[in-house]
Amino acid sequence: MTKRILLVTSSLFGENGQSSALAAAFKASLAGHDVELTERDVVAEALPHLSSAEMMSWMTDPAERSAEQQALAAISDEMLAEIDANDVIVLAVPLYNLGIPSQLKAWFDRILRAGKTFQYTEKGPVGLLEGKSGLILAARGGMYAGTEMDSQTPHIKHMLKLIGIADVEAIYAEGLNMGDARKQQSLQEAEQAVGHYVASHF
């Protein structure tokens, strides 16, 4: 059965970014596997920050939306359809100032929609997307994984869990700004981990 994969990249440096190198390694590892890959570069598409007008368009009945509201709602609706159509969500993420790129946050702001991907209940929010998994490909200049300084990984996992994606793994390439030898070793180890992940999941 064909697995459908959504690969979201978010490096400010495009194909020259270290997280993009991990994304490229992931794509190369898919050769020979029964998968269908969809790619979205949230930086290249210059996704704007979420505005009140766009949020209000979601809250307006589709039959009553103005032409402007229809266009604004379509931005998120397209992304929701894309998420719904794929089985595995892969996020290639650089670490900028201990957080995720603002462009990636703008993407998350459009897929975390109450009534669409999660709903509020008496016991708290419940995710509406079922049977999906996630993979984080994280590139960092320093060493953060497993420390309290890594606020990025929990943030991403919490956002994915909010919409029902709790099965999330992470592969790290760290110490990339700590000398060429460490950089090359870290990238090599991360690429090997990517290969093992693909071999065991697809």
> Long-range contacts: 97-103, Cβ < 8 Å, 24+?
98/144, 98/149, 98/151, 98/152, 99/151, 99/152, 99/155, 100/10, 100/152, 100/155, 100/156, 101/10, 101/11, 101/12, 101/42, 101/43, 102/49, 103/10, 103/42, 103/43, 103/46, 103/47
pLDDT of 47 over the 90 cut: no
Residue 69 near residue 60, CB atoms below 8 Å:
yes
* Total tally of structural domains belonging to the chain: 1
**What pLDDT band is residue 46 in, cutting at 50, 70 and 90?**
confident
Output the known binding site for FMN: 11
Q: pTM score, two decimals?
A: 0.96
Residue 77: CATH number of its domain = 3.40.50.360
What percent of the chain has pLDDT above 90? 98
Share of the chain above pLDDT 70, in %: 100
Count each helix (H run) and each strand (E run) in the chain, helices first.
Answer: 6, 7
| Binding site, annotated residues | 11
How confident is the model over 141-164, as pLDDT tens digits?
A: 999 999 999 999 999 999 999 999
Could you list the residue range(s) of the whole structural domain that residue 129 is in?
Answer: 3-201
pLDDT, tens only, 116-131 = 999 999 999 999 999 9
